[in-house]
A and B are shown apart, each in its own frame.
Chain A
């Protein structure tokens, strides 16, 4: 099975000014594509030849894990966005956020803090843990919550390549802007 770069449900300039077309050109067109190409080169002749991405993430390590997890993480990240999105979650997801964080504002603070303080390259996540509670986690490099049996709902890429063209060293500005493109309908469907 050949892995493929997913099609995105928006044009690459539609999330401006939060994320520019130029960032997409590299982040999606080059980095994401490179992870896909690398994995397609790495799996032939291994036990992962016909495995799904999820299986590879759970069972592999080293280069195969890094590329598989980065494909999955980036797809999950890019699929969280829509033009004119943002605002607040509704329904079940809103209830869970209030139950487990006190309020949406507190959740946002905690998630932003996790994203700001992740040192080096990596990701911040909103997940459902094994007890069914919402939790915020950090992962370095290609780390992925699926590996630990957690159910991911939302992620932010804080590798410098995700924001350097648009924000340079100002990671907190990128994180603050990120909330304006999160499509909460998509996130709620992931519950």
Chain B
């Protein structure tokens, strides 16, 4: 069960010579838990009521928290440079478009209508946010409860699920992501997406609600693992935040039953 999440964050950042101030405040984590509502202190008051503000998500742990599986420098550059660039470019891509007043899942459901810059950067923003929250220090182990049962029912065993998810990451040629998702019939499935696409996008081969993701762009592992993507994938299982994945599973099931 998701409770009321209170976040008071003041983030001041500058780009293109403009200063925006975002105050993210008390927000209810709802079915669509990617929708972020904030007050907006920017000079442009006219769009204030319409605009949904998207948050540069604080990393839920320190840069070195995932050591030795994912090293400090990798997390630092990945978060503060790559993720930040996607976030900034996402805001630029949606500026003065109808996307500004949509939540991220609505944007994904219509992504084929929008320019590639919107597709690449909305995905880059969301996928990374989702990835950071898919991991934690001293993570790993096994999922429990309902999620565990569903995984075993779908894949026969946890090991078989791990193998399929790992293979999705290993065989993704070029840059992309591996996913565990829930489809609209309530079935779990594993897939991979190229570049910054994800299963929420209308262009996805197989659509669903994501539960777990793994970044297999080379920047996610190159400093520590270089060409050995498979070693990064093996290590990834030690940092998976199964509590978060279970919570997402519950929320995805709930949103199915209310459809």
Q: How far is the CA of A161 from the CA of B217 in the complex (A)?
A: 10
Q: How far is the CA of A124 from the CA of B176 in the complex (A)?
A: 19
| A-side interface residues, number (CB < 8 Å) | 19
Contact B222 A161, beta carbon cutoff 8 Å: yes
Answer yes or no: A188 CB below 8 A from chain B CBs. no
| B-side interface residues, number (CB < 8 Å) | 20
Answer yes or no: A31 CB below 8 A from chain B CBs. yes
Answer yes or no: B219 CB below 8 A from chain A CBs. yes
Q: How far is the CA of A140 from the CA of B116 in the complex (A)?
A: 14
Contacts of B194 in A (CB 8 A): 120
Partner of B81, one of A120, A140, A161, A168: A168
Q: How far is the CA of A125 from the CA of B245 in the complex (A)?
A: 42
Answer yes or no: B144 CB below 8 A from chain A CBs. no
Answer yes or no: B150 CB below 8 A from chain A CBs. no
Interface members, chain B 75-111 (any A CB < 8 Å): 77, 81-82, 85
Contact B222 A141, beta carbon cutoff 8 Å: no
Tell me the nearest residue of chain A to B228, going by C-beta: A30
Interface members, chain A 35-78 (any B CB < 8 Å): 66
Answer yes or no: A34 CB below 8 A from chain B CBs. yes
Contacts of A101 in B (CB 8 A): none
Contact A120 B175, beta carbon cutoff 8 Å: yes
Answer yes or no: A159 CB below 8 A from chain B CBs. yes
Answer yes or no: B2 CB below 8 A from chain A CBs. no
Contacts of A164 in B (CB 8 A): 218-219, 222-223
Given A119-B120, A169-B82, check contact A26 B218 (CB 8 Å). no
- Identify which of B116, B218, B223 gathers the most chain A CB atoms within 10 Å of its CB: B218
Partner of A169, one of B81, B120, B175, B195: B81
Interface members, chain B 140-174 (any A CB < 8 Å): 173-174
Contact A169 B77, beta carbon cutoff 8 Å: yes
- Identify which of A34, A66, A168 gathers the most chain B CB atoms within 10 Å of its CB: A168
Q: Mark A148-173, 1 if CB is under 8 A from B, else 0.
A: 00000000000111001100110000
Interface members, chain A 94-147 (any B CB < 8 Å): 119-122, 140-142
Contacts of A122 in B (CB 8 A): 174
14 A-B pairs within 8 Å (CB atoms) are namely A26-B227, A66-B173, A119-B116, A119-B195, A119-B196, A120-B217, A121-B174, A159-B174, A160-B217, A160-B219, A164-B219, A165-B226, A169-B77, A169-B85
